[in-house]
Amino acid sequence: MNKLRSYAMGEWVEGTGKATELFHAVTGEKVGEATSEGLDFGAMLEYGRTRGGPAMRKLTFHERASLLKQMAKYLMERKDEFYTASAASGATKADCWIDIDGGIGTFFAYSSKGRREFPNERFYMEGAVEGLSKDGSFVARHLCVPMEGTAVHINAFNFPCWGMLEKLAPTFLAGMPAIVKPATVTSYITEAVVRAMIESKILPDGALQLIVGGVGDLFEHLDCQDVVTFTGSASTALKLKSHQTILENSIRFNVEADSLNFSMLGPDSPPGSEEFDIFIKEVAREMTAKAGQKCTAIRRTLVPDAMVQDVITALQKRLQGVKIGDPSVEGVRMGPLAAKAQVSEVQRSVDSLLSATERVYGGPDGFDVVGADKLRGAFFPTTLLYCDDPHGKQEPHKVEAFGPVNTILPYKSVEEAIELAKLGRGSLVGSL
């Protein structure tokens, strides 16, 4: 059994006290324990401010970009280790590619942007000089410099590698140190990546720290130069954003929360057309990639009223060909959810949606699992729902089932489709 460790103030630290048990998403076997009890969170923040921050601020944008590129190359060389770790989360090879290769790719991308779009300086001049007086004696211009605090990244369970690296890339390019707090359930993957990053010795001391477990009293020690970035549920985001320390110090708090994304089939894309086939393929892919555990996954499918049955039939046929099971078995295209707790969570959301919809494909009893025990693993069936009154029933626009679940919504005109799309209240993505 592996007891995960945090990386604090230049050392790997094993937490004390009661730990959270972590389980293999496919087999249900225990794979580790995680706890952050015993960590000095205030000292971690100060270590970032006094050790990591000054070291990062000494570097120019181009030098920071070079660090990103070096790290990306190094992580690519060790990515097989991360694929192995990800197997316990139920990820298929394609899922791992999104999380691991995609995450490393963000370092390459920001490295390129840093070299191409920023000067080889420690500061950035934004915009033109603005004259504020008639005779030119009073002018102003924006001068951008790194903040002198520590960035705190609280990440979601679904992308333990990509979710971390996509935040670290702009943070490091901006010259700030970071403390990463991954979702505990898949923190063993994040720990493996951070361990490799530390072993590379590419980053300055104090630039990167890791909390495995809860955040304890971390928020009590934040100040106005620190930054918090959160990915997760809207309810948790609201709770954290309303913390007294955040409000009193006007601390920057960025949130990526629940999102009821949509995809719309146009009325000029009838069955048999290339566009129709692409639409069906993409909707099914978004339901099954990462077992539907993507912030950008399609949750609401907008379809012309006259094509609803054609879309349902096509999706049923497509989903019937998706084998669910152990990703290590040949032919399996969708693995389990990240943990058993997620099965209950997704089922509760589906039950809520069923109060306003009917199930047209899937169900908890009618699906087979290849190469694994359905009851021991965190498996959930692909589930397609249909809502006959998308204006009168609000559940499809308010409830997100964070799994392989999609709701078909009929529309009579493009104008109506636009109104339905807007009911998602700020989706991350929409596609046509």
**C-beta neighbour count of 288 within 10 angstroms:** 22
**C-beta neighbour count of 419 within 10 angstroms:** 13
Residue 256 annotated among the catalytic residues of the structure: yes
The secondary structure of residue 204, as a DSSP letter, is P
CA 284, CA 292: separation in Å to the nearest integer?
A: 10
Phi, psi of 238 (to 5 degrees): -65, -40
CA 232, CA 258: separation in Å to the nearest integer?
A: 7
Find the distance separating the first CA and the last CA of the chain, reported in whole Å.
47
Ramachandran category for residue 371: left, alpha or beta (phi over 0 → left; psi -120 to 50 → alpha): left
Structure-block tokens of residue 423:
């009911």
Ramachandran category for residue 229: left, alpha or beta (phi over 0 → left; psi -120 to 50 → alpha): beta
Residues 6 or more apart from 225 whose CB is under 8 A from it?
49, 147, 148, 149
Q: Is 144 helix (H, G, I), strand (E, B) or coil?
A: strand
**Helices 61-77 and 187-200, interaxial angle, to 10°?**
120
- Contact between 215 and 230 under an 8 Å Cβ cutoff? The reply is no
CA 1, CA 339: separation in Å to the nearest integer?
A: 17
The secondary structure of residue 51, as a DSSP letter, is I
CA 267, CA 288: separation in Å to the nearest integer?
A: 26
Options 161, 295, 387, 400, the catalytic residue: 295
Options 46, 81, 148, 256, the catalytic residue: 256
DSSP track, 265-301? --TT--TTSHHHHHHHHHHHHHHHGGGG--TT-EEEE
**Helices 162-173 and 187-200, interaxial angle, to 10°?**
40
Catalytic residues: 256, 295
